[in-house]
Amino acid sequence: MRVTALRRMKLLTHNMLTSHVKGVKNGYPLKIEVNEMKIREVDFNPEFISRMIPRLEWKALYEAAQSLDVVGNLSPEVVKDYENDEDFLKEAHRVLMEVEVIKGFLICPESGRKFPIENGIPNMLLNEGEVGDAGPSQSGTSQDDDSMQ
């Protein structure tokens, strides 16, 4: 029997995603509605985590952890001298890399538009009517209406 690895979205990826539904002024951070999630052990690399900290929105990460009930000992703020704080980095690693959302939705904080997470991959495609003028250039081609909730 072949075992298929479950595909998943990490909170590290979620931290970088923004909703660009037409008319939305601030589509970040996306809320997360979880139907299925798991915790998976991933090798801890303190240098990688340390380098990643400045490229993250820590508040969004903390809120995501709260909503998934995985806060544990995650600090609500980035601590001073975090590069040398192994406990801080380990908790950051756990929340960023080991929490995996398999099924659920990312929800635009302003419009409520739900983007499905299918097999662990967020589908951020917009329908034709949702494509706005503001924000980065994007295609207006329509897609399945199934994704519109």
Partner 1 sequence: MNQTSRSSTFPTPDYSHLSVTDFDDIYEPAEDSFLLLDALEKDVDFLNSLSPLICLEVGCGSGIVITFLRQILVAPCLCLAVDRNPKAAQCTMRTGEQNHVQVEVVTSDLLNSFQPKLDGKVDVLVFNPPYVVTPPEEVEVDGLARSWAGGINGRQVLDRLLPDVHKLLSPKAVFYLVTTEENRPDEIKQLLQQDGFHSTTVLQRKSGPERLSVIKFERRLTAVT
Q: Which residue lies nearer to partner 1 by CB, 91 or 100?
A: 100
Separation of alpha carbons 82 and 56, rounded Å = 14
| From 5-13, 31-39, 66-74, 81-89, span contacting partner 1 (CB under 8 A) | 5-13
Q: Quick check: 55 and 145 in contact, CB under 8 A?
A: no
Q: Does 39 bind partner 1 (CB under 8 A)?
A: no
Do 32 and 64 form a contact (C-beta atoms < 8 A)? yes
Q: Spell out, one character per residue from 102 to 121, where the chain touches partner 1: x when CB under 8 A holds, - when not.
A: ----------------xxxx
Q: Which residues pair with 118 in a beta bridge?
A: 121
Closest approach of Cβ 77 to partner 1, in Å? 19
Binding of residue 28 to partner 1 (CB under 8 A): yes
CA dist 80 and 78 (Å) reads 7
- From 15, 4, 3, select the one nearest 99 (Cα to Cα): 15
Q: Under the rule (CB under 8 A), what is the footprint of partner 1?
A: 5, 7, 9-10, 12-13, 15-20, 28, 45, 47-48, 51-52, 55, 57, 118-126, 135-139, 141, 143
